Each structure stands twice: as structure tokens, then as C-alpha cells.
Amino acid sequence: MEITRVGIIGSGIMGSGIAEVAAASGYEVTLRSRAQESADAMKTGVEKSLNRQVEKEKRTAGEAEEILARISTTTKLGDLADCDLIIESIVEDLDTKLALLAELNGIVSASTIVASNTSTLPVAKLAAAMSHPENVCGIHFFNPAPAMPLVEVIRPLTVSDETFNAAMAFATSCGKDAVEVQDHAGFIVNALLFPYLNNAIRMMENGTATKEGIDTAMKGGCGFPMGPFALLDLVGLDTSLAILDTLFASFGDANYEAMPLLRQMVAEGKLGRKTKIGFYDYAK
């Protein structure tokens, strides 16, 4: 299974990060978003990220230009028909993903690999929406995708060895550490990370320390690059809530039961960096 063309669906921070990673690794990338403005905004996001790397002398301006030229944008799902691998990175909602995959099913060939960047949803359920579930697996990047070395490659029971191995090889070719994971909710990282993030909110609410104090403590005490509140804001509070809800529904463990404050902030539209306000204020 040779992969040369990669389609990416979804206009969020993950979609543009994955597009950058794939294009920088030599793949031809087609980015699909429902609205042309968001597809263009994603490409502008990649351009900014590449320009930062040029300023930091990590890449030449010529390399950045070549990478950007490998990315095209579209609003039409049909434009992904000639992709060898399609990665969906849309909102973390099972019904929305199933509807997209049902639509995609009418477009892809019998050999197209379809991967989900889902954080927690069962990949086998997503595979069931396709006529060729053996071509479906999870390829889970971390935020920010260009900077984080890990990719979890999820192996649902339905996937063929050929597809799974091609997905592992793709992640490795992107310069990432590819780790095989079974199709269990939250895979490795989110299943371990989210009880910690949720309990940080509980600790602040209990009055043990302020959010700034907790963030400083976890950076200085554990060597983490960011504290839990800064990380919640980076991941997005809506995504974090969706992840916790799926984990709680799967495991029924109280550590996964989203703190009411998180739910309230999401209802108020305080989603973290992307809305310029979350636990911290990014508007200034």
C-alpha cells in the first residue's frame, strides 16, 4: 500500500497541524473543510507555523514554500477521491463522524485507507460506517501536531494487518514515534491524562491551591512542559469535556466524571485558546 496523496477532513487546529506534518514529510495533501474560508484559514495557519520555523532557522524559506505548495484546499469531499489515505479530524462527536464517514463511503475506492484522529471514540464503530471496515484504523496525533513526537495508531478488531502496517509506516515516515494501541476508550494517553486534568479542576474547586499555583507545581514538581489548566486551554475545553464524557460512559470511574465547572465553561463558550478565554485570558 503506497501512500502519496493524503486527504485531511476538518478545519480545527489538529487538521492544520496534521496537514503541516504530512506536507513536510513529502505527501501531497488535500485539506477539506465545509467552508472555503476555514480551509483557507487552515492553510494560512500552516503558513504562519512554517514562517516561524524559517525565522528560527529550522527551515529555509524555499523549503517552507515547497511544503505549502503541497497543500491544496477544497470544500468538496469528492476531491479526496484520489487520496491513498484520508484522515478525518472533525468534531469529537460520534454521530457527526458517522454521518461524514457514510458520505465518504460513496467516494473512496476499495483500497483507500480511512483513519480517524479521534481522541476516545471506538474506531470499530466508525469502521462499521464503511463498506470496507478492514481499511479503517485510528491515527491519533497530539496537539500541537508539528511539535509532539507521538502518534497512537489504533488497531480495531476489524482492521486488516495491511492497513494497520501502512498506518504505522505513515506515522513513522512523518518522523513520529508510532505506538500500537488497542481500540479501548482514550487509548493510552487520554485514558491516563484526563483523570489528572479533571482532578486538577477538582483540586482548585476544593481550595487546595489556585490554578496558577497548580500549574506552577506540576511544571516544577513533575517536569511537565505545561500545567493542567494551560493544557486544558490548549486542548480546548469542549474537546476535553467530550473526551471525559466518553471515558466516563466507557469506564464509569468517578475520576472521568467531568467537573461541573468544565461543563459550565463550555456552555458559556469559554473553550480555551481558540476562543481567547478559558481558564486563562488570551485576549490581552
Question: Is 102:129 a contact under the CB 8 Å cutoff?
Answer: yes
Q: Using the rule CB under 6 A, is 48 a contact of ligand 3HC?
A: no
Q: Which of 49, 73, 89, 158 binds ligand 3HC (CB under 6 A)?
A: 49
Say which residue the cell 478525518 belongs to: 88
With contacts defined by CB under 6 A, name the span among 48-56, 159-167, 198-206, 249-257 that binds ligand 3HC. 48-56
Say which residue the cell 496537539 belongs to: 143
Q: Using the rule CB under 6 A, is 225 a contact of ligand 3HC?
A: yes
With contacts defined by CB under 6 A, name the span among 34-42, 74-82, 140-148, 265-273 that binds ligand 3HC. 140-148
Q: Give least dist CB 32 to ligand 3HC, A.
A: 20
The verdict on whether 51 is a catalytic residue reads: no
Q: Using the rule CB under 6 A, is 25 a contact of ligand 3HC?
A: no
The verdict on whether 184 is a catalytic residue reads: no
Q: Using the rule CB under 6 A, is 148 a contact of ligand 3HC?
A: yes
**Can you tell me whether residue 131 is helix, strand or coil?**
coil
C-beta atoms surrounding 282 within 10 Å: 12
At 182, phi and psi to the nearest 5? -75, 165
Q: What is the dihedral of CA 107, 111, 116, 121, to 10 degrees?
A: 100
Q: Using the rule CB under 6 A, is 146 a contact of ligand 3HC?
A: yes
59: left (phi over 0), alpha (psi -120 to 50) or beta: beta
Q: Using the rule CB under 6 A, is 58 a contact of ligand 3HC?
A: yes
Q: Give least dist CB 181 to ligand 3HC, A.
A: 12
Q: Using the rule CB under 6 A, is 56 a contact of ligand 3HC?
A: yes
Catalytic residue among 11, 16, 25, 140: 140
Nearest to 78 by CA among 107, 98, 44: 107
Q: Which of 190, 198, 270, 272 binds ligand 3HC (CB under 6 A)?
A: 190
Say which residue the cell 486527504 belongs to: 7
Q: Using the rule CB under 6 A, is 246 a contact of ligand 3HC?
A: no
The verdict on whether 140 is a catalytic residue reads: yes
How many amino acids of this chain bind ligand 3HC (CB under 6 A)? 19
Question: Prior bond to 144 cis, omega within 30?
Answer: yes
Catalytic residue among 28, 116, 152, 198: 152
Question: Is 271:278 a contact under the CB 8 Å cutoff?
Answer: yes
CA 3 to each of CA 39, 145, 168, 195, 273: distance values in angstroms, whole numbers, following the listed order: 23, 20, 12, 37, 34
Burial 126-160 (b: 16+ CB within 10 A, else e): bbebbebbbbbbbbbbbbebbeeeebbbbbbebbb
Q: Using the rule CB under 6 A, is 119 a contact of ligand 3HC?
A: yes
Q: Which of 239, 244, 246, 272 binds ligand 3HC (CB under 6 A)?
A: 239
Q: Give least dist CB 110 to ligand 3HC, A.
A: 30
The verdict on whether 180 is a catalytic residue reads: no
The binding site for ligand 3HC (CB under 6 A) comprises 49, 52, 56, 58, 119, 142-144, 146-148, 189-190, 193, 225-226, 231, 235, 239
Which active-site residues does the annotation give?
Answer: 119, 140, 152, 190
